[in-house]
């Protein structure tokens, strides 16, 4: 399709958009009485209107049933999390038994590393990417410390080549080969939070396994955003937050994946808790831990239902839409945003450098734009004009045109505001 940088053309795209109706399912903040252009769904998704009813239902059950809500609520609390199994499995390409919801993202990564990072004198190294999200860096370093290793010895960071913004797959594979039988774990973010680069998870997972290592993925920016086949790819474990592309609310519950090949291996170490115990025998209060055979066997505490309710509202919306439709619009609207940026770049005395990969298979719902010659004053101008975006030093803005609630006209309007901002500074 030949794009045009006009409002009329953008409106025509919106008129043909099969997902356009879902925009009305969300609540938008307003600036000067007008809905914002929201580009930060890669940080915190907008609130779905249906969410309130799910939360109110739990509040009403708590008020009317108190403790009996565990068993007699319309959605009983004791098995509330099981409602996520089918829809989440479709989102991440898993079996229903391989997914669960619990805790928060970094907590889940720590718990999963108890199982999947068991260093020995020979095999103790972890491969991760340079400039991973800081929480992952802190988590990995603390795990290494807890086993008595020095991070500078045990952690191998894959670096970008000089002058390049993204990590090459061949460099990851070469590092895996080089570390060889010293490699205990590969743990990388499936989508890099800074650049928006999507890693070749299937190829990297296979390479890690070929050396005898476990392979896990932080899917914070991937779940609900990209096509995933965790079961097919043989990924050992993964975890993701729910408040970015899946719109569950700030700091909300995390999803986790454990491949079926590990479900019956009771020799795997784990930090056990009551809620991971055999469901049929949980209330017998037995002293010996008997884990559920599945990802639920890694649960520790009973679930925070008030945090799961908004997540369930969003997950059921995803089930209505389906990942193929989301991905189709994601690719199209991201390409249109890229076109708009390129057109505006031609019209102003400035240079935009999109540091997100240009190949569709290597990017998802994010364009990270290096604004050469521009400073934070431009970001402040955008925010003042109702464009909610994200600033990263030294002068990068991250733009996430989330397909569930962003419109093509948003992309056009953003371009006009951006042009005004540059010309006025």
**Mean pLDDT, rounded, for 199-222:** 98
Can you point out the beta strands (E) in 253-314? 254-258
| Cα torsion angle, 104, 107, 113, 115, sign | negative
Question: For residue 1, what pLDDT is reported?
Answer: 83
Q: For residue 255, what is the DSSP state?
A: E
Give rounded-to-5 percent helix, strand, coil for the chain: 45, 15, 35
Q: For 124, list phi and psi in degrees, rounded to 5.
A: -145, -5
How much is the pLDDT for 394? 80
Domains of the chain: 7-35+322-423 (3.90.1150.10), 53-321 (3.40.640.10)
pLDDT tens digits, 65-92: 999 999 999 999 999 999 999 999 999 9
Predicted local confidence at residue 373, as pLDDT: 72
Bridge partner residues of 128 (DSSP): 157
Which has more pLDDT, 398 or 393? 398
* 381 within 8 A of 424, measured Cβ to Cβ: yes
- Provide CB contacts within 8 A for 47, sequence distance 6+: 26, 27, 247, 249, 310
Quote the pLDDT of residue 330.
Answer: 98
Residue 134's pLDDT is 87
**The pLDDT of residue 86:** 98
Predicted confidence (pLDDT) at residue 233 exceeds the cutoff of 80: yes
């Amino acid at each position: 399709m030949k794009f045009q940088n006009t409002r009329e053309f953008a409106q025509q795209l919106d008129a043909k958009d099969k997902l356009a109706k879902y925009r009305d399912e969300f609540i938008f903040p307003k600036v000067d009485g007008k809905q914002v252009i929201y580009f930060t769904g890669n940080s915190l998704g907008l609130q779905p209107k249906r969410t309130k009813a799910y939360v109110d239902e739990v509040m009403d059950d708590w008020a009317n049933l108190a403790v009996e809500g565990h068993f007699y609520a319309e959605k009983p609390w004791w098995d509330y999390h099981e409602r996520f199994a089918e829809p989440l499995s479709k989102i991440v390409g898993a079996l229903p038994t391989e997914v669960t919801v619990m805790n928060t993202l970094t907590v889940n990564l720590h718990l999963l590393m108890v199982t999947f990072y068991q260093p020995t004198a020979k095999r103790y190294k972890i491969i991760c990417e340079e400039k991973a999200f800081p929480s992952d860096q802190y988590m990995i370093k603390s795990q290494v410390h807890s086993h008595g290793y020095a991070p500078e010895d045990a952690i191998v960071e894959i670096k970008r080549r000089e002058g390049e913004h993204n990590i090459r797959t061949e460099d990851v594979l070469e590092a895996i080969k080089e570390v060889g039988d010293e490699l205990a774990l590969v743990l990388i973010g499936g989508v890099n939070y800074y650049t928006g680069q999507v890693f070749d998870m299937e190829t990297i997972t296979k390479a890690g396994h070929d050396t005898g290592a476990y392979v896990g993925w932080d899917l914070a920016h991937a779940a609900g955003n990209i096509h995933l086949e965790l079961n097919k790819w043989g990924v050992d474990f993964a975890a993701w937050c729910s408040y970015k592309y899946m719109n569950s609310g700030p700091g909300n519950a995390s999803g986790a994946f454990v491949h079926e090949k590990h479900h019956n291996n009771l020799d795997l170490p784990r930090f056990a808790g009551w809620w991971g115990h055999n469901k049929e025998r949980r209330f017998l209060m037995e002293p010996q831990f008997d884990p559920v055979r599945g990802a639920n066997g890694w649960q520790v505490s009973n679930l925070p239902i008030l945090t799961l309710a908004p997540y369930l509202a969003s997950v059921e919306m995803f089930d209505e839409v389906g990942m193929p439709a989301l991905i189709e619009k994601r690719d199209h609207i991201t390409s249109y945003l890229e076109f708009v940026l390129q057109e505006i770049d031609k019209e102003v005395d400035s240079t935009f450098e999109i540091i997100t990969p240009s190949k569709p298979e290597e990017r998802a719902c994010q364009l990270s734009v290096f604004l050469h010659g521009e400073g934070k004053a431009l970001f402040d101008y955008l925010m003042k004009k109702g464009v909610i975006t994200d600033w990263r030093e030294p002068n990068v803005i991250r733009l996430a045109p989330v397909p569930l609630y962003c419109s093509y006209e948003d992309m056009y309007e953003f371009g006009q505001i951006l042009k005004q901002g540059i010309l006025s500074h």
